[in-house]
Amino acid sequence: MANNTVVIALAGKGGVGKTSLSAAIVRLLSEKRPDAKILAIDADPAVGLSVALGVEPGATLDQIRKRVAEDVTGKLRDTQDILAEAKFRLYDAMEEQRGFAFLAIGRPEAAGCYCAINTYLKKVIEMLVDDFDFVVIDGEAGIEQINRRVMEKVTHLICVSDQSQKGLRIIETIRNVADELVMYEEVGLIVNRALFPDRIKENTIGNVRIVSVIPQDDSMTENDMEGRSIFELPCDAGILKGADTALKNLKIY
């Protein structure tokens, strides 16, 4: 990973708004850093980030993995040739608009299918990161898949939870798993969809520093229900203000 590339990964249990926050972060970065190269990676098989960003996903990483695997089966191919071909196909699959590029990971790999091609494509993702200033990864529930399927190192890990005790307890588990599986420089917690934000008195929860508390945002809920992108929200929407606070507290800008 390039020394100046900022890689932001969002993790948490399902249904806490990771995808909406990932989209909000992509929007804020594209507005505040208009000259920056930004890559949004959807690591959730549901590909919800494409809807939140208003993009049509191209071929997924998993589809490309299968195509490259089929092409090299039974052939003597140099590793660098395979890497170059995979990188070319990934770039070809990216959807670029609104100042960012988008790439979907696709369905999880089946058990027992790990092979050299998977390792190559993970390396390709790491190579792609070098070409961007910011990378935002919307992860599925948990943190293991970031290490297993995308990359081993991120600069900023953002844990996301609602105000429920179950969600907040899961954050501590995610932090412990991340400490074992993922290299990161900074970690922070966003308490999203908080129904009683005034009740949050602590600065840390589950050994993770709180970097933003975002109250329930009806405008975001309505936006989701109508299938509109994050770019159609007003600038003063709660999720955008909350994400902005988190990025500032994590010194991302």
For residue 223, pLDDT over 80 is answered with: yes
Q: CA dihedral defined by 178, 179, 183, 186, rounded to 10 degrees? A: 90
d(CA 76, CA 64): 19
- Mean pLDDT of all residues in 171-190: 88
pTM: 0.88
d(CA 85, CA 64): 10
d(CA 45, CA 199): 34
Q: Is the distance from CB of 89 to CB of 83 less than 8 angstroms?
A: no
pLDDT in tens, 101-123: 998 877 655 544 445 555 665 77
pLDDT in tens, 138-163: 987 666 666 565 667 889 999 999 99
Q: Please state the φ and ψ torsions of residue 74, each to the nearest 5 degrees.
A: 75, 5
d(CA 229, CA 225): 11
N- to C-terminal Cα separation, the chain: 19
H/E/C letters for each residue in 95-122? Answer: EEECCEEEEECCCCCCCCCCCHHHHHHH
DSSP, res 199? G
- Mean pLDDT of all residues in 206-211: 90
pLDDT band at 73 (very low <50, low <70, confident <90, very high): low
Q: Is the distance from CB of 125 to CB of 151 less than 8 angstroms?
A: yes
Q: For the chain, give the mean pLDDT.
A: 84
d(CA 194, CA 162): 6
Q: Which domains does the chain have, with CATH numbers?
A: 6-249 (3.40.50.300)
For residue 174, pLDDT over 90 is answered with: no
